[in-house]
A = this chain, B = another copy of it.
Amino acid sequence: MDETIRQHKFVLDESEMPTTWYNLVPDLPSPPPPALHPGTHEPAGPADFAPLFPMDLILQEVSQERYIDIPGAVLDVYRQWRPTPLFRAHRLEEALGTPARIYYKYEGVSPAGSHKPNTAVPQAYYNKIAGVKKLTTETGAGQWGTALAFACALFDLECEVWQVGASYDQKPYRRLMIETFGAEVHRSPSELTNAGREFLKDPKNLPGSLGIAISEAVEVAASHDDVRYALGSVLNHVLMHQTIIGEEALLQMAKAGESAGPDVIVGCTGGGSNFAGLSFPFLREKLAGKMSPIIRAVEPASCPTLTKGVYAYDFGDTAGMTPLMKMHTLGHDFIPDPIHSGGLRYHGMAPLISHVYELGFMEAMSVAQTECFAAGLLFARTEGIVPAPEPTHAIAAAIQEALRAKETGEETVILTALCGHGHFDLTAYESYMKGNMVDEDVTDARLAEALLTIPSVG
């Protein structure tokens, strides 16, 4: 019943919204290894990507510029929900009894309910001005499919989405949301593609995976002249579009009186775009000697790409149609257990994040899903926002850090990203509340078997 005035959210005016994306690559001591052509194993050039992406995005993928201007038409759409708020989690801190100060950047205010429109909108825009008629894509939990459907509706593009079978079955509301925005949704693996029909021959593939869904969407895009493919994470240009999150957070932390920056940044990682979006601008400050945050990726115990994968060239999809990328991978054949965080079930990690990890600029940890949902429920009942299962990983890690601060008495400043709300994931909360949820994990034997599928390169 505290009646003192305390500020919960730190907002920016539309006029303070960043107008450039930040490219981390030129600030690193060495560049990330190039992608390789899947057949020749030679470095892939722009022409190799042209069947899938418009040239503007290919140039961003390999850009050495530190900053790239955000087009006016993209800014116009961003301004509907950006800048997004940065919240101080006063009530969560009270419940934990911690001296730590916990901040979260909330991306769930976007029309699609997550950070994904930050890249869906520019991807739709660049495809539109290149004359593309339709975009294909995959989606796991459905956050990405929703975002791309929204963006395509605004730019008058058709949109066709292959949704991972397990999520398609578990989350009908997410499919309906995608359809409400006007896109078409298929359960993957589907009968519509050669890849899908091939995967359907083995019953173990029925739940699908992001890798399988990517294979299907890529196949359709590559075989039609006026169709291109859009990826919701992993690639350099996608990570770069998301840096607007961290750029805004930098300004907002200063407004919150935290000009020295956070002591710890925690973010959940699937393909890595949300994590990179939040942390790369802070990493720039760290590399420049202006801040010194610990930067920590949090992944699910059942899909531990950074903590248990290997750093090697591997395919981005399961059928092996994409260029080879040097990344932390569990093997492109690896199908994670059907945990509720569908957005984190990807066999690889963004090559740029993998490179940063190898350079020693960040840490990684994994959390099992019951700990995540316990954290999500506490967060909902204190902060009032029901988090998507994916960011509950980051919240669980933030709570671990806040409880350490409680023991040491340190006023640790923790920053995390609440990358989306859980309105379409409530059956997962029900499963947790009823005590039906189990901690899906992965055995060493399964990991070893999957790692065998990684091709030998170089």
Contacts and interface: CB of A to CB of B under 8 A. Distances in A.
A38 interface: no
B5 A380 contact: no
Contact of A180 (B383, B424, B429): B429
A3 interface: yes
A237 B424 CA distance: 33
A1 B180 contact: no
Contact of A73 (B1, B176, B382): B1
A150 B13 CA distance: 29
A374 interface: no
B173 A72 contact: no
A180 B3 contact: no
A14 B4 CA distance: 14
Interface in A374-411: 377, 380-386
A377 B5 contact: no
Contact of A7 (B79, B377, B384, B423): B79
A150 B423 contact: no
Interface string A58-82: 0000000000000111011001110
A9 B14 contact: yes
A430 interface: yes
Contacts of A112: 384
A76 B6 contact: yes
B1 A381 contact: no
A179 B433 contact: yes
Interface of A: 1-9, 11, 13-14, 71-73, 75-76, 79-81, 87, 91, 109, 111-113, 128-129, 150, 153-154, 173, 176-177, 179-182, 377, 380-386, 423-424, 426-427, 429-430, 433
A433 B180 contact: yes
A9 B15 CA distance: 12
B381 A181 contact: yes
Contacts of A7: 14, 79
Contact of A113 (B14, B76, B383, B423): B423
A101 B164 CA distance: 42
Contact of A11 (B11, B91, B153, B380): B11
25 contacts: A2-B73, A2-B76, A4-B76, A5-B72, A5-B75, A7-B79, A9-B14, A9-B80, A11-B14, A111-B384, A111-B385, A113-B423, A153-B380, A153-B382, A154-B382, A173-B173, A176-B427, A176-B430, A179-B430, A179-B433, A180-B380, A180-B381, A181-B381, A182-B381, A423-B424
A177 B423 contact: yes
A429 B380 CA distance: 27
The 10 closest A-B pairs by CB, nearest first: A3-B72, A111-B384, A176-B426, A423-B423, A153-B381, A8-B80, A180-B429, A8-B79, A173-B426, A176-B430
